[in-house]
Amino acid sequence: MSVSGNVPMRIAKYRVMIERFIRYGIIGASGVGVNLGVLAVLHHLWPHQATVTYVLAVEASIITNYVLNAWFTFKASVHLHGFLRYNLVSAGGLVVQTAIYRVVLGQGINYIIADLIAIPFGTVIGFVLSNVWVFRTREALSSHDSIERPVTESASSAFRRSRGDR
């Protein structure tokens, strides 16, 4: 196939990825709302447990973000294995985001501005890893597969298929 024959497929693939990234961002914004709401309630209930309430609020937003991203962004099934991967990806994104935040903050930049600079780095890392590892979409694994279908096969289905069962 000629290079020009691949152009429509590439355009479609990029369009899907851009739409998916926008959806991921929308879910991320909703996660901020969940985080702040849960933090406010828990801080009211346990005002002297700042770290505990913060961690619980972050985890609440991770849970809702995972479920909503599975359904809305990646059109995938919700599974414990995927949730654990998503939690790990979220932690990795947080580490990168925090490192960038600290570097920017060390330059004398206001903490809010430093956070706004750091957030996109954690977001992009989270999106890429969610796309290729957590939800394992076909287009992230191979450019020859369907653009729209995510890989959502459960472990039991994969095992039955590997044995030749249908």
Q: Please check whether residue 65 is in contact with residue 31, taking contact to mean a CB–CB distance below 8 angstroms.
A: yes
Phi, psi of 23 (to 5 degrees): -60, -40
Q: Please check whether residue 154 is in contact with residue 80, taking contact to mean a CB–CB distance below 8 angstroms.
A: no
What is residue 148's predicted lDDT score, i.e. its pLDDT?
A: 42
Question: What's the mean pLDDT in 9-17?
Answer: 90
Q: Which domain holds residue 56?
A: 3-163
Q: Which residue shows structure tokens 């750091």?
A: 118
Question: What's the mean pLDDT in 81-107?
Answer: 94
Q: Could you tell me the pLDDT band of residue 162, with boundaries at 50, 70 and 90?
A: very low
The type of residue at 156 is S
Q: What is the pTM of this model?
A: 0.73
Q: Which residue has the higher pLDDT, 66 or 1?
A: 66
Give the Å distances, CA to CA, from 25 to 76, 81, 89, 124: 17, 23, 15, 10
User: Who's near 124: CB < 8 A, 6+ residues apart?
Assistant: none
Q: What is the chain's Cα-based Rg? A: 19
The predicted-structure confidence for 106-117, as pLDDT tens digits, reads as follows 999 998 898 899
What is residue 155's predicted lDDT score, i.e. its pLDDT?
A: 45
Q: Tell me how many domains the chain contains.
A: 1
The predicted-structure confidence for 131-155, as pLDDT tens digits, reads as follows 999 998 655 555 434 444 444 444 4
* pLDDT beyond 90 at 86: yes
Element (H, E) at 120: helix 111-129
Report the SS3 class of residue 137: strand
Q: Could you tell me the pLDDT band of residue 58, with boundaries at 50, 70 and 90?
A: very high
What is residue 136's predicted lDDT score, i.e. its pLDDT?
A: 85
